[in-house]
Structures are given as structure tokens and as C-alpha cells.
Chain A
Amino acid sequence: MAALYEGYTLFGLVQSQISSHLGIRGIEQERDDDHVVVTDSTRSVTLYKVSDQKPLGSWTVKQGQTLTCPAVYNFQSKEYVAISDKRVIRIWKEGDVLLDKTFKATVSSDIWRVQSAPEQEPVVLFERGAVRMLDLLLSDPQQSIEEVLDQDELIRWNTVILAESRQFVIFTTEQKGKHFLYLQRLNPNTLQRYQLEREESGLAPLSCCASYREQNICLLYLYPNGHLYQSVVSTRGWGTEDGRQVLPLPRRLLLSLSVGEGPLEAASALELDEAHVAVVGVPHPSAGTGKDFLCIWNTNFQTLQAAKEMGGKIYGQLWCFFNKLFIPHGKTLSVIPFVCPKSSLASALGKLKQAKSEESKSPASVPSWNSILHGEKVQPSRPQETKKRLTRKTQSTTCLTTDQVLELIKTASAEDVQREVEGVLTRSDAQNLQQSVSLFVSALVSRSLEESSFYTPSTLARLVHTQCMSHSVCPELLLLALERKDYFLCQLCLQFFPDIPEAVTCACLKAFVSMPDTDAEKVSLEPDSVSFMETLISGKHVGNYVQNGFSPSPLDVEHTDALSGDGVAIQTKTKEEETAPSEPTCPVGLHKAVLLNEVLQTAYSDTFLLPHLKDLSSEQVILFLQYLQFLYLKFSQDAPTQMHGLRSPSLAQIVDWVCLLLDAHFTVLVMTQEAKGLMLNLHAFVKSQVRLVSELGKIEGSLQEINKMKVKKEIGQYSIEVIELF
């Protein structure tokens, strides 16, 4: 998530600057990331050390002269270049005290601007569109300058871009309400002219910015109606000199900012990286019409990432050097550090552990020894994405939004609540999530309890899914889900809550057992558990009936005389097939079974469970016992079914529950006629298992000795051995 840090004031603006609509003439980068050259709107140039908030030097032209463009730093010669009165080029060094005693050169044509890029010779752009390198110009200051633009064509904005170690001078012009973009490549000089698409009602772009990315020049321009467009111009493929042929410039709407009342007057947009844009002078989407906000937007997701209110008048000016935004407002020029972390799918899904390192937390205003000693570069910021477009809430006010959402829950419609809660969930980090989730759930549950019509199943399910919850946080939730027959939520709760009281477990059990199968099949349940049950019921292992030592024949052999002849044996076999089908069938429906499985897997303590278990009616007990027996048989036959890796009850859990159930209802079961067959079956099976286990115990006992056995050399009464001593 992009973030704006606490800013600080670089300097105060003087009165004359405030009065003019132009805050300051310009800020240019100096030797490193901590120095800037500020040219004010009248006569003076000041060098600032940003982190110290301290001017290092200041130069002023004579009274009566004005600086007509921002002074720049010539990175090659370490000199400053400024233009006074449009025609005088002034060059000085940091050591020079008086500007008047330094180098001056007067040129033959009006200069629009001089511009400088690191490691490059400064470039001079004349008002009539001609471009000269500074050193070439100074070699013959009075050389004639050609006119590129038409008479009534005026330069509105320009910049220099360094692309593939070649400089591009970019400027926009306006001619009779039409706007053009010129792309001037230097060495060899080529010029290309584009026409910007016409915006409604002849609006002129308020601000432009350009950046070079992947062999393309990206242009961003903001119109007073709040539309931010992006155009991409390739730096290649236009080697031919088409001269004045005007190409249309395709554009893409990046953002449509709400402008509040009336068009924007002083606003500016600045690209921070490929996904983030800083905008100043545009109203905050949720804070009324005041336009004095600095916002960072994510253009990929159209989300507001960070916002900051800037006090005082906004001049619509914004500069950005090395993760610091420079913004004049009111009577001050503020420096605001920011970060735009790289976005990733993981972070968007909330799975990325956001290591908030100290480095990124502390604003760069505090000089770090590392950066002073080793000149360590600050990592360029990267944007982070979020999933959903936000309309009202912002990151900087999470607490507030939680409260707001809570308020909302009390009143708003289920759909609204759902949307808002989802929104909060998507952008909350892990720590806050815990708190807010429990608050939301409590609020939702209490409202649902009050209003019988209000229920938000998906939201609750989503909240439970965060796994930040436990039963004790909101004890009513599970009961509410039971009451509303939201069995999916019940399943989730049983799965994720570690602390469900035995009474509630029992209530769930009761509800699940007694619910009609037709109802159950309508419920959509977690697919994993369903698929597990499906495999179990479908019984893929039909062939391996006699598995794990169990063969159902002893049951009946014991009922009849063991010494009976073949005929009787066959008879018993057929009888058995009639009474108990060879393949156990599931006594409950698929979904019901899935839900019962969840109950089987919950943690419990038998002393507490037992009294509640007694509340079950005999029919419920028999059904449940039948189901348990089914599971037991299935597990004993097809042991590998547990290896699916799916969530499934273990054999031990099943047997435990059988024991518990028998403990709780033994007398009832003995008395109930219907249960008799079930009990006998169970007994026979358990008996065979006991026999098997005792045999296994014997095998284990014998095999255990193998481990104990030590290969000991048998030494007889006499032997002749060879030893070696060293």
C-alpha cells in the first residue's frame, strides 16, 4: 500500500510569491537526492539541503531583472544555469557570491526554458520551438534561431526525458484551442508532432508529465474535468523526417477524478511509478469539496492509496525527486516522503506478510548514517494493489472506517453491509483484522438476533473464514447459524473454532441428525469434505470385502451351531445377505454425513459431553450409531480412504464417539427393539476386531524382540584371535 509520511516544511514562501498565482517558478534536482535548486517567482535562486531543511546558498539577480525560467544544475560542469529576462543566459558556480559578476551571454531569440538531465548537457528550448544544446549555443550566442512553431502557437509545457542515453525534449503547444505535442529527439535531431485528442468543451490540460518506460514515453495529462489520460509514444520507429506531419495521439483514460464543484483550476498530476499517480488540487473523494488534498492513486485498480490534506492555497504545483514530493501550499513548501511498494497478488490477497521495516517507516528527513556514509540509494518505491475499488474509505483512517462500518451494520441493508465489510476485510492487515472481525461478527449477530429478517450468511462465512475467530468471541454465532439453518456456516464454525463447548457441539449434532435428508441436500457445503464422503459412500473398494481381518461370517456362525453342516452354513450365509447387505450402506444422506463428520472432528472432553449426549432421543441415537458403525466398517475395510489428505474423521475419533454414545444411551439401546440388530452387528464386528488386535499384539511382541537383540559374538571356551595394536 502506498503511503504518505509526515511531511515537513522546506521553507516559507515570501509574500510576493503568495500573491502571484504561480507559487514558485521551479524546483530542480541538484547533485544528489538531498539537494534541490529552487527558483522563486521573481529574482532569486536558492540551493537547499532537503533533509536539513536548510539553504546552502542563494543568488539573486539585480532589481529590475527577472528570472524567466527555473535555474538548472548542469551535472557535467557542476554549474548553475538560469535565464534572466528571456535572453540572458547566466552561468555560475556554487562558490560564486554575486550573480552579477558571473558569466552572462545574450542570445538572439527568446528562451522558453533551459533544461538539464543528469549526465547530459543542458538543453535550451526557445519560445519558437527551436532546441539547442547549451554548449553549442554558448559557442555562438548570437547564432540565428529558426522558428519551428507557427506564429500563434504557444508552448504550454515542456520537459526533457532521457531515453536510452538520448535526450528527448517534449513540449506541448496550443494553437487556436488545439493542443499539440512535440517530441524532439536530439543527436540526430528529429521532430515529431502529435495532436492531442480534443477534450470536451475545449479544455486545456492542466498539467502534464512524462516518463520513459520500456522504450515508450508515457505522457500523463490532467484536464480540469478531472480526467487523467495516458498516452504512450514509442521512441522508435519514426526515424523518417516527416516534418510537420501531425500524427494523432491515442489516449487512455486512467482515472476519472471527481472534481466537486466546478472545474479544477490549480491541479497537477505526477506519475510516481507505473501504477501510482500523485494528484494535488483535486478534492478528496470522501471529504467534501475542498481541493487542498494530496492523493496517491493506484491507476491499475483505481483505488486511493493515501491522502493528505494540505493546508492553505494550492498552487497546482508538484515536484517529485527521489521518493519525496515537493508541494507548495499556503505559505510553505512542504516535502512529503512517500512509498509505493510493489504490488503483488499475494499482498492483494492478504497472504503476504508485510514486513514493515524500520527503513520504510522512518521518513528520509532523519539522515541515516548509512546514506550519509555510503550514499545508499533509497529503493524506488513500488505500488501495492488492492482488490476492490474504494469509494469512500481510505487506509489512513482504518479505525474510523471500522467504526463506521459498525455503525453501518446497525442500520444498513444486508447488501450494503456485505459490501462494506468485504471492503474492510480486503484491506485490513492481520493485526487489525483480528479486532475488526470480532467486532463485525458481534455486531452482525446482535442485529440478526434483533431483526429476524436480517441475515448475511456470506459475510459471516467470509468472516469465519479469516480464521481470526473463536467461539468465545461470539458465542451466539453458531447458535444463530443453527437457528437460521445456515449449515454451511455451522460447518465452517465447527471446522475453524477451537473452543466450541460440548453443549453446542451436542446441539449441532442434534440438529444435524434430526434434519431431513432433503433439506440437507440443498445446503452447499465445503467441497473437500463432500468429496471425501462421496468417495467413501460410493465405495470404490467393493472387491476387497474381507479386509483388515474382518469377515462378517463369524456373526452368524456363532448364532447357529458351529458344528452345523454345509447346508446350514449356506443357509446362514443367505440369511445374512438378507438381513445385512454385504456392503454397508450409508444410513444418512451425503450432506448430512458431511455435517456429522464435522461434529466427529471437533475437540471435546467426554465428561462434559456425556450429559449433553443424553439429551438425544433414541431415534437420533440409533441413526447416529448406524452412521458411526457405517464409518467404522468403511474405515476398517478401506483404511486407505484416510490417506486422501482431505479433512476426515480418524478411526480413533469414530471409535471414541461410539464409546461415548454407548455410554450415554446403553440402557436405552438395550431396551429399544430397533437397536438390537444394530448392536449385535456392532458387537460381532468389534469382537472380530478385538481378536485381530490381540493377534497383532502377539506379532508385535515377537517382533519387538528383534530390536532388543544385539548381535553378540559367541565366544567359546577357547579361540585363537588376531588383534592389532597401534
Chain B
Amino acid sequence: MGEFKVHRVRFFEYLPSAIRALAFNKDSERMAVARTDGAVEIFNFSDNYFQEKVIPGKDSRAAETLCWLHHRLFAAGLNGEITEYDLENLKPRSSVETFGGPVWTIGCNRQGTMLAAGCENGTVKIFEVQEEKIQLQRSLERQKGRILSLSWHPSGAQLAAGTMDMIRIFDVQTGCATHRLLVDRGVGTCRNREVVVWSVLFLSDRTVISGDSAGKVQIWDGATGTLIRTHLVTKWDVLALAVSQDESSVIAGTSEGTVVQFQFLPSTMGQQEKEWVRTRTFKNHSHDVRALIHTDTAVVSGGMDTQLVVRPLLDKVEKNTQESSMRKILFPHKPLVDCAHRAGLLLFQFTDHLELWRLGESEGQGKPGESLPVKKKPEKLIHLKKKGDDHICSSALSSCGGWLVFSTICSVRLYRVQLSNNTVSLTKVSKLPRILCWAHQLCFSADSSRLFAAGARSSVHVFSLSQSECKHIHTLRPKSGSRQPLHLLCVSQDGHWLAAANTDCEVTVYDLKTMKLHCTVPVYSSCPTAMAFHPVYNNLLMTHADQQLSEFSVQQRSYTEWSRALHRRGLHPLWLKRDTPVTHITFNPTNPAHILLHDTYMFCIIDQTLPLPDEKSVLFNQMMLRSLPESERMRHSHAFKICKNFQNILCFDLLEDQSLVVVERPLLDIMSQLPAPVRQKKFAT
């Protein structure tokens, strides 16, 4: 395959936000993740934990709590509003003021008719859920302290609410507090500080379980209001609790980053009487565990260290399967970096600004494994801040580097970038067509003459670009009439074809010459995660969340022979075992048989001319091939050239001069940016 010059970029200072809340919809197996920057991400747990949708955040709005109500997602935060999200257009649909100050927690009853919100002023407000909106029904008896946690009894008749120093049990019907459970304060100096009941659970047998700032998990009898058992879990706070569907297991997340499991078990073998026993402790986080979900098979946790961790419970899953391996989701499943191949520019997308960098240059040649002297350092050309509160949801850079576009949920800004030797000029295209008011995907054609923007209901708006003008030409709509948003867009090199993929797994190919829908790719069960057109044959190469690869011939409207061969043979088990999706595909224009793709932990160049590896061959064979003499290599090599020299890859692309660009974001760099974790006494410190 040969030698490559690699630009190893580590100056993209991307910092994911901490996870604040989690909500899991058991019917659709969607996990909603709220981050402290206000963004809400939707992960499809049934499709390999793929991040389907991202609802961008807003400066003034940060979700403190999340709640699914059937397929509706509600969030509430310290701005005092309860917001329902539009999961099709990826923006808030409606907001309702609670008039109780900041909302700390919301929860709906199991019947799905009521939504309760715990407010700063000490009231629990009950909202009636209606078709299109929610309406305040009434407030429950007001308490002294803020309501920090609440939990409905499954019957819907009662509600437990955690406040400062106590837990209250309300009768929803009458709105009166029926019990008052006093929670002990911590010992020592914490004695003077009131204890915060961070989380409370109300089980169907009227057991109330609470987690508080004194590090206790307490089990109460909700019927009598008496304390049954106290488990001191940590010296710090117990921040989150979650219960399994069958109420046999409860997990508690602590400030130490541990998750402690309690199980409802007979205390001695064979005895009927059960009690809550502390069983396992997981330590997957370095910082606070702020949110927890107990799915049927796994513990899902998230917190200050920004990672979403899916920790399977090994007694619930089959051993040594894909399901039994722990997953850490570190990075978004969509690219945040765009690369202008021809200009050698990189566009970094942050939530509140964009950065445009020019890559450096080196001189001379080097042997494999060596670093070349950098003649010219990389240079930050533009630091472009967003306007307004809304965060940037998408951006694009044309491959010539002449155009730059980004979008928030309410506006799109298009800029003309001019780079002469030492001066950079950025001109905003002032008059944009009205239809281009927001877009969750943006892309330029290869010749930079057209801009494509993903609109509502899977539609694609096509704009033509001239020197300083942007004109709407056409809107392409899919035949299926799907309401889901598009999450992938790509244009063929010759500008003839456009492919658009939505989260319903539909991939539609449009003919840009006729501006008509050309065909749809047969729907595959797993969502496409990246796609690209072959530069010569215009075959559409797609990767899916379940790690499958397919190549679709647009002309023939069928899968190509290579794709069929790949499916017949099956992908290598190690390939399928990878736990991060491929997020970007590109081709090598000088050798179109080479497909370049990457996930978080490797990049791969697939040579379509070489034989495919079978199950028994070594997938990661680069080391082996290196040790072989030249003549032997051909015999042992296969199509998948995988390089793991680079880790935590956010972008992998090929520049026009055949040098590769790898943008890495080392975890250590992220960790160093996080606030310090709670101090723990370690030996000899």
C-alpha cells in the first residue's frame, strides 16, 4: 500500500459536556441523554447504541431532568420551564412555565396521564398530559425546602418527594402529605449541613428508597413511614438511584464515581423473607455519577466525566457476546471536523464557535515511524462565534476552502472565505433564501457550486452558490414521506448524485441533473453511520451502526458485486466486534479502489482489489506483514488495512497531496479539563 505522510492533529480542543440526566424509553429502546450544555442526545440501544439524534442546546436552557412519556420527551431545568422536544425537527416543541421557580425533577406516572414537577419553591406541581401539550392541574401541599427528587408510586395514587432533610409522601388525590420521613444528617462536621435527598424511588410494595448527600441509601416503609435499613455507601453524596423494571435490583450512583447495586434477596438461603442487600460495586467513572438507568440487562450511567457507560450485568446477559462487553460512549457519532481536501484546511465545530485551521507543512522525507520536521506550523485562521443563545448544530466547509456555513436551530450563516498569502477575509453572505433558516445537515458539492441543506421531513434544499449569492434551486423530498430528520448527506464527485439518509434507515438517491428522486436504497435494519460516493463509478458506500458495509450501484440500482461478495463471505468477527461506528468515509481520488474510513480507535483503508479476509485470517495483520519479506506480503495481505497507531480519532481524511489528516482528542486532555473529582484518601498521599 505504501507510505503516507500523516498530519497528526491534537489541537482540536473539543470538550464534551457532562451528563446531567438520563431517560430510557423501554418501548422504543431509546436513551435520552441530557448534557449540562443543554444538548439532548438520543441513542438507539437496539441499534448498537447509535447516537441517532442530537438536539442542540441553548445557553440559557439546561435540562436538569428528562422524562419520556410514551414517545414524547420532556425536559425541565433551572429556567423553570418544562420543555417538550420535537424529535423530528430536533428542537424544542413547546415550553410550559411552572411558576414554581427552577425545576429540579420531573416524573410521569406509569399510566402516562400525569407529569409531576418538583420545584425550587417546595411545591410539587401536577400537570395533565394532553395530546399536544401539558397543562398545570394543581400543586401539592407546599413544603419548606426545594423538591429535589420525586417518584410516583406505580399505582399513580401516591408520590414520594425528596427535599432537604426529609422525604414526603403525598396523596396525589388530595394533594396532602401523608408521611414525613426524616433523613439523618451526616456525622461530624456535616451535622450542621442539611442533608439533601438527591434521589428517591417509590416501589410498588410501598417501599421508599432514598439516596442522600450524607452518602446513605435508606430503605423506608412507605406505608408506615419508618426506616427499615440504612446502607452507608460513600463518604460523599449518593446522587442517583435507579430501579430495575421488576423492582428486584436498585443501583445507586455516588460522587466517587462508583455505582453500587442492591438486590432484593432472601437474607439466608431458602428463606422467603427478602431484604435489600448490597451486592456489587462498579467503578467506571472518575467523577460524580449524576444519572443512572437500570435496563433489563445493564447499568447505564453518566456523570461529570462526560462518558456514557453501558455496563452489562453479567448475570443477565450471555457471556462473551457483544452484549456482555462494556461500552463507553465518548464522542458524538457524527463528525465535528470538516476537512477541505484541496485547501488543506480543517473546520472544527464547537457548540458556540467554529475554528478554521490551516495545516502545517513539513520538509524532506522520512522513514516510516519517524516524525518529520515541521517547517510551517498549523495556523488558526478564523475563530467564528455564533450569534444568539442557540448552539451550533451543523457546519460545513467546501473542499476548496472558499465557503463556510453553519446552522443553529434558528439561523443559518454562510460565509465566503478568502485566503490570500497572509490575509484571511471572511465575508458573510448577507441575503440568504428564507427557506434556509435552519438545517441539521449541511454540505457543499465537490466543485463548491452548490450547497445542500437538510430540512424538515427528510427534505433536502438545494442552493446554488455564486460569487456572493446563494439561490434556492429546488427542494428534494423523499417518496416515503418520512418525518424523521436526515442525519447524513453526501454528493458525488461529479455533482450528479446526492444521497440522503434519515434515522428511519432510509437512504434516498437524487439525480441532481434532473432534480428528481433517482432511487432508494433497500432499507437495511441498521442505521447508516457514514456514506460516500465512489469518485469514478458513483457507487454509494455505506457503513451501518451494526458495523456492516455495503456498496450500492446508483446506476444499476442494486448492490455491487463487491458488496455481495462481502455479504456472502461475512465481515470478520473482529470487525463486527468494534464498538464505535464508522463516522466518516472518503475515497482516494488517485486510487479509487481505496476506501478510507475510521472509527474512534482505528482507521482503515479498504483496498477493493484485494481478497477479503475470512474468519480465520488475522484482521489486524499490519504488524505481521511488516515482519514478512516483500515477496511474501502479497500472499498474506487482505483488503482491510487497519492502523491502530492513532486513538480517539475524531477525523480521518485524505488531502489532495495524498497526505492523511488524523485529528485525535486524547482522553487525558479531556480529563485534565474536567473539574477535580472528589478527593479520596489514597495510600501514602
Binding site for B on A (CB under 8 A): 715-726
Contacts A715-B10, A718-B7, A718-B8 given; does A723 touch B637 at CB 8 Å: no
Q: How far is the CA of A715 from the CA of B645 in the complex (A)?
A: 12
In the complex, the answer to whether B625 meets A717 with C-beta atoms within 8 Å is: no
CB contacts (< 8 Å) of B637 on chain A: these are 726
In the complex, the answer to whether B374 meets A723 with C-beta atoms within 8 Å is: no
Q: Among the listed A715, A718, A721, A726, which residue makes an inter-chain contact with B370, where contact means beta carbons less than 8 Å apart? A: A721
Q: Check if B513 is an interface residue, CB within 8 A of chain A.
A: no
Some 6 contacts from A to B, beta carbons below 8 A apart, are A718-B10, A723-B369, A724-B1, A724-B3, A725-B2, A725-B643
In the complex, the answer to whether A722 meets B641 with C-beta atoms within 8 Å is: no
In the complex, the answer to whether B4 meets A720 with C-beta atoms within 8 Å is: no
Q: Which 3 A-B pairs have the closest CB atoms?
A: A726-B625, A724-B368, A725-B1
Contacts A718-B7, A718-B360, A720-B5 given; does A725 touch B374 at CB 8 Å: no
In the complex, the answer to whether B641 meets A725 with C-beta atoms within 8 Å is: yes
11 more contacts with CB within 8 A, not counting A718-B9, A720-B6, A723-B645, are A715-B8, A718-B8, A719-B8, A719-B371, A721-B369, A722-B6, A723-B4, A723-B369, A725-B641, A726-B621, A726-B626
In the complex, the answer to whether B643 meets A720 with C-beta atoms within 8 Å is: no
Q: Check if B138 is an interface residue, CB within 8 A of chain A.
A: no
Q: How far is the CA of A716 from the CA of B3 in the complex (A)?
A: 22
In the complex, the answer to whether A721 meets B8 with C-beta atoms within 8 Å is: yes
Min CB–CB distance B644 → chain A (angstroms) = 11
CB contacts (< 8 Å) of B371 on chain A: these are 719-722
CB contacts (< 8 Å) of A715 on chain B: these are 8, 10
Q: How far is the CA of A718 from the CA of B372 in the complex (A)?
A: 11
In the complex, the answer to whether B4 meets A722 with C-beta atoms within 8 Å is: yes
Q: Check if B126 is an interface residue, CB within 8 A of chain A.
A: no
Segment 490-533 of B: residues with Cβ below 8 Å from A: none
Min CB–CB distance A139 → chain B (angstroms) = 80
In the complex, the answer to whether B1 meets A720 with C-beta atoms within 8 Å is: no
In the complex, the answer to whether A720 meets B362 with C-beta atoms within 8 Å is: yes
Q: Among the listed B1, B374, B626, B641, which residue makes an inter-chain contact with A719, where contact means beta carbons less than 8 Å apart? A: B374
Q: How far is the CA of A726 from the CA of B637 in the complex (A)?
A: 7
Q: How far is the CA of A715 from the CA of B633 in the complex (A)?
A: 30
CB contacts (< 8 Å) of B433 on chain A: these are none
What does the 1/0 interface line of B627-645 toward A look like (CB < 8 Å)?
0000001000100010101
Q: How far is the CA of A87 from the CA of B302 in the complex (A)?
A: 122
In the complex, the answer to whether B369 meets A717 with C-beta atoms within 8 Å is: no
What does the 1/0 interface line of B339-380 toward A look like (CB < 8 Å)?
000000000000000000000111001111111101001100
Closest B residue, CB atoms, query A724: B368
CB contacts (< 8 Å) of B370 on chain A: these are 721-722
In the complex, the answer to whether B372 meets A720 with C-beta atoms within 8 Å is: yes
In the complex, the answer to whether B372 meets A724 with C-beta atoms within 8 Å is: no
CB contacts (< 8 Å) of A717 on chain B: these are 9-11
Closest A residue, CB atoms, query B360: A718
Tell me the total A-B contact number using a CB cutoff of 8 A: 79
CB contacts (< 8 Å) of B643 on chain A: these are 723, 725
Min CB–CB distance A241 → chain B (angstroms) = 81
CB contacts (< 8 Å) of B5 on chain A: these are 720-722
Q: Check if B289 is an interface residue, CB within 8 A of chain A.
A: no
Contacts A725-B2, A725-B622 given; does A720 touch B8 at CB 8 Å: yes
CB contacts (< 8 Å) of A718 on chain B: these are 7-11, 360, 374, 377-378
Min CB–CB distance A726 → chain B (angstroms) = 4
Q: Check if B554 is an interface residue, CB within 8 A of chain A.
A: no
User: From DSSP, what is the main secondary structure of chain A's interface residues?
Assistant: strand
Q: Check if B540 is an interface residue, CB within 8 A of chain A.
A: no
In the complex, the answer to whether A723 meets B3 with C-beta atoms within 8 Å is: yes
CB contacts (< 8 Å) of A716 on chain B: these are 10
Closest A residue, CB atoms, query B361: A720
CB contacts (< 8 Å) of A723 on chain B: these are 3-4, 6, 368-369, 643, 645
In the complex, the answer to whether B10 meets A722 with C-beta atoms within 8 Å is: no
In the complex, the answer to whether B622 meets A726 with C-beta atoms within 8 Å is: yes
CB contacts (< 8 Å) of B362 on chain A: these are 720
In the complex, the answer to whether B626 meets A720 with C-beta atoms within 8 Å is: no
Min CB–CB distance B231 → chain A (angstroms) = 38
Segment 1-52 of B: residues with Cβ below 8 Å from A: 1-11
Q: Among the listed B361, B372, B621, B626, which residue makes an inter-chain contact with A721, where contact means beta carbons less than 8 Å apart? A: B372
Q: How far is the CA of A716 from the CA of B370 in the complex (A)?
A: 14
CB contacts (< 8 Å) of B7 on chain A: these are 718, 720
Q: How far is the CA of A714 from the CA of B430 in the complex (A)?
A: 46
Q: How far is the CA of A723 from the CA of B3 in the complex (A)?
A: 6
Min CB–CB distance A315 → chain B (angstroms) = 82
CB contacts (< 8 Å) of B374 on chain A: these are 718-720
CB contacts (< 8 Å) of B595 on chain A: these are none
Min CB–CB distance B238 → chain A (angstroms) = 36
Q: How far is the CA of A724 from the CA of B623 in the complex (A)?
A: 11
CB contacts (< 8 Å) of A725 on chain B: these are 1-2, 4, 605, 622, 641, 643
Min CB–CB distance B655 → chain A (angstroms) = 12
Q: Among the listed B366, B377, B622, which residue makes an inter-chain contact with A722, where contact means beta carbons less than 8 Å apart? A: B366
In the complex, the answer to whether A722 meets B625 with C-beta atoms within 8 Å is: no
Q: How far is the CA of A601 from the CA of B370 in the complex (A)?
A: 60
CB contacts (< 8 Å) of B361 on chain A: these are 720
Min CB–CB distance B111 → chain A (angstroms) = 55
Closest B residue, CB atoms, query A726: B625
Segment 516-570 of B: residues with Cβ below 8 Å from A: none
Min CB–CB distance B586 → chain A (angstroms) = 16
CB contacts (< 8 Å) of B9 on chain A: these are 717-718
Q: Among the listed B1, B360, B369, B378, which residue makes an inter-chain contact with A726, where contact means beta carbons less than 8 Å apart? A: B1
Q: How far is the CA of A719 from the CA of B371 in the complex (A)?
A: 7
Q: How far is the CA of A718 from the CA of B369 in the complex (A)?
A: 15
Q: How far is the CA of A719 from the CA of B5 in the complex (A)?
A: 10
In the complex, the answer to whether A722 meets B367 with C-beta atoms within 8 Å is: yes
Q: How far is the CA of A41 from the CA of B360 in the complex (A)?
A: 119
CB contacts (< 8 Å) of A722 on chain B: these are 3-6, 365-372
CB contacts (< 8 Å) of A721 on chain B: these are 5-6, 8, 366, 369-372
Min CB–CB distance B81 → chain A (angstroms) = 41
Q: How far is the CA of A720 from the CA of B371 in the complex (A)?
A: 6
What does the 1/0 interface line of B435-458 toward A look like (CB < 8 Å)?
000000000000000000000000
Q: How far is the CA of A719 from the CA of B361 in the complex (A)?
A: 10
Q: How far is the CA of A129 from the CA of B679 in the complex (A)?
A: 119
CB contacts (< 8 Å) of B625 on chain A: these are 726
Min CB–CB distance B348 → chain A (angstroms) = 13
CB contacts (< 8 Å) of B626 on chain A: these are 724, 726
Q: How far is the CA of A720 from the CA of B366 in the complex (A)?
A: 10
Q: How far is the CA of A724 from the CA of B622 in the complex (A)?
A: 9
Q: How far is the CA of A486 from the CA of B676 in the complex (A)?
A: 76
CB contacts (< 8 Å) of A720 on chain B: these are 5-8, 360-362, 371-372, 374, 659
**Max chain B Cβ within 10 angstroms of own Cβ: one of A717, A719, A722:** A722
**Max chain B Cβ within 10 angstroms of own Cβ: one of A718, A720, A726:** A720
Closest A residue, CB atoms, query B374: A720
Min CB–CB distance A723 → chain B (angstroms) = 6
Min CB–CB distance A717 → chain B (angstroms) = 4
Min CB–CB distance B523 → chain A (angstroms) = 35
Q: How far is the CA of A556 from the CA of B568 in the complex (A)?
A: 91
Contacts A718-B374, A718-B378, A719-B374 given; does A724 touch B10 at CB 8 Å: no
Min CB–CB distance A78 → chain B (angstroms) = 67
Q: How far is the CA of A608 from the CA of B366 in the complex (A)?
A: 73
Min CB–CB distance A698 → chain B (angstroms) = 15
Min CB–CB distance A722 → chain B (angstroms) = 4
Q: How far is the CA of A726 from the CA of B624 in the complex (A)?
A: 9
Q: How far is the CA of A720 from the CA of B633 in the complex (A)?
A: 27
